[in-house]
Every structure is written in structure tokens, then in C-alpha cells.
Amino acid sequence: MTTTIEAATAPKRAAKRPEHGPGSKADGWSRRIPLLPALVFTFIVTQLPFVVTIYYSLESWNLVRPGSRHFVGLSNYAQVFTDSQFRRVTLNTVVLTVGSVLIAVALGLLLALMLNRAFPGRGLVRTLLITPFLITPVAAALLWKTTLLDPTYGLVNFVLSPFGAGKTDWISSFPLTAVMMAIVWQWTPFMMLLILAGLQSQPADVLEAAAVDGASNLGIFREITIPHLRRFIELGIVLGTIYLINVFDQIYMMTQGGPGIASSNLPFYIYQRAFLGFDIGQAAAMGVVVAILTTIVATFALRLIFRTFSGNEASA
């Protein structure tokens, strides 16, 4: 009986981690301790400001009215969800983000298909097409505002003048479209590079076998290329959405959110309430709401990335 008990407990004692050496708890802590300063710095830079923002969101505080600061609880959040301008700006954010990402992906796919073929000067063309992504957003916004979309001397109106659109003031008449044009111009190269990497990773023997079996170019593209590019397109959409949901530079430099709030998105509207309207409580409440919504979107986006690149699309 004693021998049986000892035999049953022997594997458990053998599986127990040693107190010292590789795999021990002490070894695990020795590897984590060097990361502790980075973790503390990240907490101070990201989490403490968010906690302070939550605290401010529970107060009514206008900087131009001395003595107006007092605790109001969740009143600011109630006003956020009943604010018609906040709903309009949220819609602008969705339209700006989704529209820019989808157009950039479509254009990036077309350019990637073009660059996937061998032709003289392909390296030069590829370098020129990548250039917009290397320009800082502020410089790109100024370029579009002063050189491309100027109503009198702009290149866009010069090209469209034979079609009767030579005097269009794009920034005043179509502010959200103008901002989207600048964003799409800058993000299309990123999508192009991502999809081009997917095209060049296709197995050549599969394409050759499909051609030998008599499949047309359109059929090969629809049945083989597009399924192969799915994970790359999804990755481009996810990364583009995460970055473009926080666009600020182009709106600030090109339209200042106007006319009215026609081209404002959530980050710019919060900036207006905090630094132009001086309503710290309302701006903080909006910031908390946007941070929560962005976290939810980013969480689902990251799960999509991990699921796609782990090869579990079919099982998910």
C-alpha cells in the first residue's frame, strides 16, 4: 500500500519546479525584473493620464469661469450621449475611416497587380509610388491644401477643367472628401506594399498548374489569388482602421474641422471642446468614451490578425 502511494506521488514530485536553475521561479523573476522599468514607464505615461482623465470627466470645469469646478458624477457622460454634434462627428469618423481604408485597399490592390509584372523601370515606379507614405502627415496636408486643391491654382482643378470642374473649392464645398483624398493618397502605398508582398508569396507551381489546366487569368485571380491575398488585405484593413480612427493632422491643417463640424472627427472634436471651448469635463468624458470604443475596436482587430495569421480562419 505504501509502495503504491509513493509510486503515485513520485511523478508529481518529479514535475515540481526546482527552486533554482533554469525553469525555476527565481529564474523567471530574474528575466522579468529587467523589464520592470519599461513597465513602470509605460504605466506612468499611458495609464496615469487615463485615470486623471476619468477623474476630470466626473467634474464640471470650464477654464474661462473661475470657481466653476465641482463634482457632477456621470452627468458629463449623459450629455455626451445626448449631444447631437457628438453623434454627427462619430458618423464623420466612421465615414472618414471606413471610406479611406477601403479606397486605399482597392487602389493598393490595383497598383500591386501592376507592379507584380516585369516591365522596364519597375524599380523607379515602385520607389515613386512609395514616396507619399514617407511624407509626414502635416506636410502632406499642406501639399494638398495649397498645391493640389487650391481653387485657383490647384492641380486637381487644372486636370478637371475640361470636365467643367475647374473652379471647384474642394475644401469649402467638400471638406470631408478633401481630407479623405489626402489620407487615401498617403495610405495607398502602404496597402500596395502589403498586398504586393502577398502577391509575390504565391506559389508559382500552383499558378502554372492552373494555367495548364486551362483556367483563365480572371479565373486564376478569382479562385486562387484573392483567397491567398485575404489575410494580407485583412491585415491592411485592420492596421489602417487602427491608425486612421485617430486622424488629426490632416483635419487641423486643411479644414480646421469646418465648415461647422462638417469635417470634424472624434479626436478633433475633443480638441475643440478642450482647447477652444475650455470645457475640460465634457472633453474628458468624450475622451473616455472614445478610448473605450477604440479599445473595443482594436481588441477585435488584433484578434482578427492573430486568427488570420495562425491559419485558423476555417475553425473560427
- Both 151 and 7 in one domain: the answer is no
Domain count, the chain: 2
Rounded to whole angstroms, how far apart are CA atoms 15 and 9?
A: 10
pLDDT value, residue 248 = 92
Residue 202 lies in a domain: yes
Residue 125 lies in a domain: yes
Rounded to whole angstroms, how far apart are CA atoms 270 and 290?
A: 9
pLDDT value, residue 89 = 93
Tell me the mean pLDDT per 10 residues along the chain, length 316.
Answer: 48 51 63 81 85 91 84 89 90 93 94 88 88 91 92 88 82 92 94 91 83 82 86 88 89 89 90 89 91 84 73 45
- Both 242 and 301 in one domain: the answer is yes
pLDDT value, residue 308 = 66
**pTM for the model:** 0.81
Residue 96 lies in a domain: yes
Residue 249 lies in a domain: yes
Residue 290 lies in a domain: yes
Locate 123 and state its grid cell: 524599380
Residue 79 lies in a domain: yes
Residue 130 lies in a domain: yes
Cβ neighbours of residue 198 under 8 Å, at least 6 residues apart? Answer: 112, 228, 229, 231, 232, 233
Residue 68 lies in a domain: no
